[in-house]
Chain A
Amino acid sequence: MDAADDDGLMAQVRSGDRAAFECLVHRHLDSVHRYLVRLTPSPADADELAQETFLRLWQRASSYRPGQVRLTTWLHRIAHNLAVDRFRRRHGEHTGLAEPEALAELDGAVTPDEQLALTRTGRLLDRAIAALPANQRAALILCQVQGFSNRETAGILGLSVRGVESLIARARRSLRRTLEAADGAAPGAGSEDHESS
């Protein structure tokens, strides 16, 4: 995906081109939705927030500054702020935590292949990720799943790069300790060999 293409499409969106808008939705919806699914408590919330994110893109296309920030970074910032606002309104200062049941529900009917993928470790980690403090979870997902640099993640979350690094380190440590505790409780689990990269 080319940022220059995105900027070109945004120029068309600014002049009201719906086809260009739909092209941008096609390009970025999966990524934005994936982030929101991890950040919010239910798939329905993720759907609504993703819709709202793209409507903001349509409404505020004129405020996008190509060259200053990548479109995907801008979109994730909108999505993150919408999610935080929604759950702050709903829960006061507490940002909603995704429940593991909601994550499992995402895929609907589970195929045999998906069943294989839903390993014990996977479920455990999903639950542990969902239980992370929201800012740690957001930083971890943005960097490790969405592929943003620490600097871009800092821009999305409105934090310093050092703050993002600290959040990610704490999140990783927390997840690692969860795995270690589970391995200790179930000897033999997680003993598969993992070749060094």
Chain B
Amino acid sequence: MNRAELEAGLDRWGGDLSAWPPAAAQAARALIGRDDDARRLWRAAARIDDHLAASRAHSAPGHLAGRISAGLDTAPRRGDALETAIGWLTGNRWRPAVLGALLTLAGYLAGVLAVEPVDAVLADEVATLAFTDLYGEVDDAQ
């Protein structure tokens, strides 16, 4: 291993050589043992690791948990809208009847507005055909 390879390893795996692949760690230890610059590189990486590890000891401010719990009262939950609707429906006897009437009205309006009107000319043709002699003849033949 040369110094550049050691640097690449330190950047990738950090200064804790026990976390390196065994062969690379062995080569790194050998280089660090004989090369002052390599040892300096490794020490810098290890100091960074130590510093990062030390920052794991962190506590959130004491008041924050209480603030979070207090905030729940003003935080609507996803799914609450459905629960509210169900609650409204079951809250009073007349409410399901009103909902049924509204749905019936909505269905009627949808039918009136959405269904295509029958072509008046086509309707006349069908009516004429129904009462022609041809139909009468067929009936006679039977």
Contacts and interface: CB of A to CB of B under 8 A. Distances in A.
Asked if chains A and B come from one complex, the reply is yes
B89 interface: no
A58 B73 CA distance: 11
A140 B52 contact: yes
A106 to B, nearest CB: 8
Interface stretch (B13-21, B92-100, B105-113): B13-21
A151 interface: no
A106 B54 CA distance: 15
A88 interface: no
A103 B61 CA distance: 13
B77 A144 contact: no
A179 B29 CA distance: 21
Q: How big is chain A's contact interface, by range?
A: 35 or more
A180 B60 contact: no
B72 A173 contact: no
User: Chain B contact residues: over half helix, strand or loop, or mixed?
Assistant: helix
A144 B52 contact: yes
A149 interface: no
A63 B78 contact: yes
A180 to B, nearest CB: 6
A179 B11 contact: no
Given A33-B58, A63-B78, A169-B11, A180 B48 contact: no
A176 B10 contact: yes
A51 B67 contact: yes
B34 interface: no
Interface of B: 7-8, 10-12, 14-18, 29, 32, 40-56, 58-61, 64-65, 67-69, 71-72, 75-79
19 contacts: A16-B77, A21-B69, A22-B69, A33-B58, A34-B56, A47-B61, A51-B64, A51-B68, A54-B68, A55-B75, A58-B77, A121-B47, A122-B51, A165-B12, A173-B7, A176-B41, A176-B48, A183-B44, A194-B47
